Amino acid sequence: MLPEIKPSTNGKYEAPPPQFNQGGASAMPASPRTHFPEDSPGLALSPLLYNLSHYAIGGVQLTKWLYGTLICCAALWAIGFWPGRWWGAGACLLLLSGLMGTLFALRRHDFVTFHPQPLPSVAPQRLEAKQKIPVHATGLFAVENKYRRYTWLPGFYRTFATYERALLCQVQDRNFARISHWPESEVGLWYVFFMPDAVQQVRWGALHFGKTVRPAIAITYQHAKARRKRRSLVDRETIYLAVQQVEEGHALLADLSCDVPTSAWAESAPTSATHS
């Protein structure tokens, strides 16, 4: 398990203080810095709208700025401020409804599309505690009882001695068009943890995020969400793990096959599937 180090409010775990010898030099060897995978999927509709729904100016999401701009333009056209009165107002309202409808549809599936394929045959092989498989993860993440849905977060898959599986992913501090930024409260590390007996289905396939297509594993599991002054709320969640190399995906499947219930390894349906 992870060491019990109190995380900061933005989701970052602070490193423990170094130990020093009598001369004042550090007595602990410097550990190699973890380099997260690149997280830029390129220009396409889904990544663009995903960014617009997260980046903000003055604490207001860019999508809401767009909504407000289109509504103001429709109102100005409607009162005759510009020529083409009703045509202009109608066009603005049509664009507004199209944008809202597209965002609603994409958010339902976390902005990705998963196409199932037959499960490859792999021999069970558990990962060592220090092994990490780089992934881009999509689904529900948590830190300090805060929950957020993210898409294509760079991170790593690991297995602990307790057989618990973990995804350690990072929301990077970045800007969009140099005028908007990712909310500071979300920048840092976000996590997914699950035990093998909570897994209900494992699927192999291809994950599409805009024009980017990667081999991927979809893991559906029972997720217990902590709630204040109430019992935990148990939901069925699906986390998508895109890998750069097929061999990395096979290694991940081999690790899961060591102790995930046999009932979870049903063959994938021939049709495409999205977020459960």
Predicted pLDDT of residue 27: 44
178 SS3 class: coil
pLDDT tens by residue, 12-26: 444 444 444 444 444
Predicted pLDDT of residue 226: 65
273 SS3 class: strand
pLDDT tens by residue, 135-153: 999 999 999 889 999 999 9
pLDDT tens by residue, 115-140: 999 999 999 999 998 899 999 999 99
Average pLDDT of the residues in 30-56: 76
Torsion sign, CA atoms 122, 210, 10, 142: negative
Q: Among residues of the chain, what percentage have pLDDT more than 70?
A: 79
Average pLDDT of the residues in 61-78: 91
List the structure tokens of 32.
């190699």
Predicted pLDDT of residue 232: 57
